[in-house]
Amino acid sequence: MHEYQAPMADMKFVLRELVDLELLAQLPGFGDLTLDVAEAVLEEAEKFAGSVLSPLNRSGDVQGARWQDGQVLTADGWKQAYSRFIADGWTALSCPTEFGGQNLPRALSALVEEMWNGANLAFALCPMLTRGTVDAIELRGSQALQGTYLSNLVSGKWTGTMNLTEPQAGSDLSAVRTRAVPTGDGRYLVTGQKIFITYGEHDLTDNIVHLVLGRVAGAPEGVKGISLFVVPKFLVNADGSLGKRNDVHCVSIEDKLGIHASPTCVLAYGQNGGAVGELVGEENRGLEYMFIMMNAARYSVGIEGVGISERAYQTALAYARDRIQSTEAGLRGSARVAIIRHPDVRRMLMLMKSQTEAMRALAAVAAVALDAARLHPRAEERVRHQAFADLLIPVIKGWCTENSVDIASMGIQVHGGVGFVEGTGASQYLRDARITPIYEGTTGIQANDLIGRKLARDGGRAAQTVIAEMRGLAKELTANANLSAISPVFTASVDALERAIRYVVQNYGTDIRSVSVGAVPLLKLFGIVAGGWQLLRSASISQLKLTASKASGADAGFYEAKIATAQFYADHVLSQAPGLAHSIVHGAAGALTEGVL
């Protein structure tokens, strides 16, 4: 079975050429950042991903997590790997130094996260949720909560979870019924049940810190009455030591299609009187606070899509290079060749490669905006970068994860019949990828967020700023004799995106049902064009390197491959844009006709 190898050449290219390192270095706290430091981090992460996490991916899938009398046992090797993970400081990359973190930029930590996800998605889910718990407590928790929990969460000594979903609620958080009763000492007793809680119980750490949505007695109905509570598995004494077991227990874990080694738990709160919880921020503002963690998680789930896509591509590529079958097209009577010589196999591999590189680049560029929105010294710049990040987060979450399912499925197709057999590993990637467009908000939820909050609410202004940058690149491509052939396809795709956005902005307020039919196609269109924008930036930069004679040998081959990948993407992926725009603008009638379904 092919083990994961981090795509270091492309990751370093993204950092050197696409990420605005100059901007990041000017942000408070990042002054010591250099390219050498960033690349050294990537190289160490590559070793850990390839030598520790990847070898556990298959065995973890086969063995899975096990529930035993309320305890959850992780797969063999998990505890040792996690101990090494925290000893090496990987949980703390982008966390604040105040609580023991390394305060590295999100663009760098996102590339490292991609490695964890590509090597072992089931393992990577645990530190991903802990990072979101850190964000929520850091930004909205009291000093007492921060002092109690953050250092241990940042170090990875404790892990964190996000508890939203209940059996009757699903994605409708207005239906949450978990109750919290004040005890009079600033604490609350929490009762209720939460489902689908990733790493809600495990044997990796001594304590698990749950962020739980619930209602205080007398709170308004609906989302306006939801509060957020910190509920630890073990209570924490004043001196920081662990006290008695809290009244929260795992009553079962789910038998799932994929990510078998990641325990998905049903948690019962208050079976013996109530689980002790502490309020985060103010009562009835819980959903607002939880969205801090949820947005961080949505971005990170998009990175999961990139990682699993890369893993599926690598496995398919290795198989295609080794598998000898049939003669090459047009060469009758010649020797049998590796299937990578067959045109349709090459087409599939290039679809996998080009889309994965587009997703990686787009996510890294968005990560710069996340840091600038938080740290830039000028308020107007913080607002500008936040608008860009807000616009792209649903696209990254939805487009990258939907792509990961298609790419993993294509990887099976490259393998042919043996891809349908578990031993190759190709089928696991599809099974694992399939959850990513569902959790942290389905693709439909991301798309509705995109058309409503991110486009209609501001009249499309943030999107128009991005489109203006895309058109600037199109002009550069037109003026470049070596790349001018790509420019018309890119321009047509940008035209299609602008046409679709205009339709949403003009009609959302008067015909939301029709606009909503095209929401997911619009998210896909936005991802395709935005990803193409970054790939064509890559091609333009690569052409400059070649023209200036700054590249030779392997470097020249890399840059030439970048240009060829962008050309392929333009012809096979960007060319879909006008058709998607048509379905967005004209596709509602067929979907909404009564009596058809």
Residues acting as catalytic residues: 440
Q: Is 192 left (phi over 0), alpha (psi -120 to 50) or beta?
A: left
Query: Between β-strands 275-279 and 187-198, what pairing exists: parallel, antiparallel or unpaired?
Result: antiparallel
CB atoms within 10 A of CB 457: 13
CB-based contact 426:412 (threshold 8 Å): yes
Q: For every residue of 77-123, which 3-state class applies, written as one string?
A: CHHHHHHHHHHCCHHHCCCCHHHCCCCCCHHHHHHHHHHHHHHHHHH
Helix (H, G, I), strand (E, B) or coil at 250: strand
CA distances (Å), origin 465, targets 114, 116, 310, 461, 577 = 28, 33, 30, 6, 19
- DSSP one-letter code for 452: I
Dihedrals φ, ψ of 71, to 5°? -100, 150
Q: Alpha-carbon torsion 555, 556, 561, 562, what sign?
A: positive
CB-based contact 200:263 (threshold 8 Å): yes
DSSP H helix total and E strand total for the chain: 19, 14
Question: Which ranges constitute the DSSP H helices of 272-342?
Answer: 286-322
Tokens of 441: 């908000």
Query: Between β-strands 187-198 and 71-73, what pairing exists: parallel, antiparallel or unpaired?
Result: unpaired
230: exposed, middle or buried (C-beta count within 10 Å: 0-12, 13-18, 19+)?
A: buried
Residue type, 366: A
Question: Which ranges constitute the DSSP H helices of 450-486?
Answer: 461-479
